[in-house]
Structure 1
């Protein structure tokens, strides 16, 4: 299926909703801000020619050090957010925003596997497990709509994990 032309103005990106067996999600505190909106789930850009699934596993490892995961689900289409104008000019961004494929994964390792220094470009200074429904209120406001969609899409997985453990 061909994507709408306007999506070419949005940077291809992946996001990872990493669940533990209790139905909680992994949240990282971004290195580059002390804002109240510093917490987010792993996400990052896709390399040229990279499949979204491959990018999701790569980004998850680079940002968290985690490899012990099982893929549970993926959003069927792209979720899109636009950068605010002041953000685009301040960060010298050429993209209008980002289009994201989101992946739900189950963490099958131990917390000791989590290594925020796994990649030379450290994304997060701290991490914690949290509730999926709290994520839209933790992320920078221009991304909150996408986080709300992710929370709605993957809440049944969280509920299922909570019910089975």
Structure 2
């Protein structure tokens, strides 16, 4: 990461099912614009918006519900660089700096990907170890860092 570049403030949600902690499976969704690329819901933090406000707004926009409870928050911002083909579309940003939240779906929450601007075409819950088989290469290091932190804290 080059520190004189711009990084877009962003929030990301690691969602566990309402059966957590008995079942520790994580929500991932396949992007509509990239075949076979799965990720956590995430999105930009708007001017004047807290990261928690952005979290709930982005969940509603991307998966049709904000009925979650926050279990934990990663303690630091984490940044990653976009690959060149994505950076060209995201100028002036070289990448994103993110706040990660571990959240649990509330009982009865309904996931609906048919939102106003669908970003995902399908979703599933996977085991923690299976997660890394599906994630875009440029996000793996960040995902591994965050998942390792939540595992070490006993959450996953």
TM-score band by shorter chain is 0.7 to 0.9
Contact 1:26 1:41 in 2 (8 A): yes
> How far off its partner does 1:151 sit?
1.2
> How far off its partner does 1:59 sit?
0.7
CA distance in 2, matches of 1:102, 1:87: 21
Gaps of 5+ in 2: none
After superposition, the C-alpha distances for 1:90-140 in whole angstroms (9 at most, x for unaligned) are x252101000000011112336x11112x3110110011112233333221
Asked if 1:16 corresponds to 2:17, the answer is no
Aligned to 2:148: 152
TM-score, normalized by length of structure 2? 0.87
More helix by share: 1
Asked if 1:88 corresponds to 2:87, the answer is yes
More strand by share: 2
CA distance in 2, matches of 1:82, 1:40: 16
Aligned to 2:100: 102
> How far off its partner does 1:145 sit?
0.7
CA RMSD of aligned residues (A): 1.9
- Displacement over 3 Å in runs of 4+: none
- With over 3 angstroms needed to count, the CA separation of the structure-2 counterparts of 1:95 and 1:24, relative to structure 1, is same
The alignment of Structure 1 onto Structure 2 pairs a total of residues equal to 149
SS in 2 for 1:106: strand
SS in 1 for 2:141: helix
Contact 2:12 2:100 in 1 (8 A): yes
Aligned to 1:48: 47
Aligned to 1:122: 118
CA distance in 2, matches of 1:142, 1:105: 23
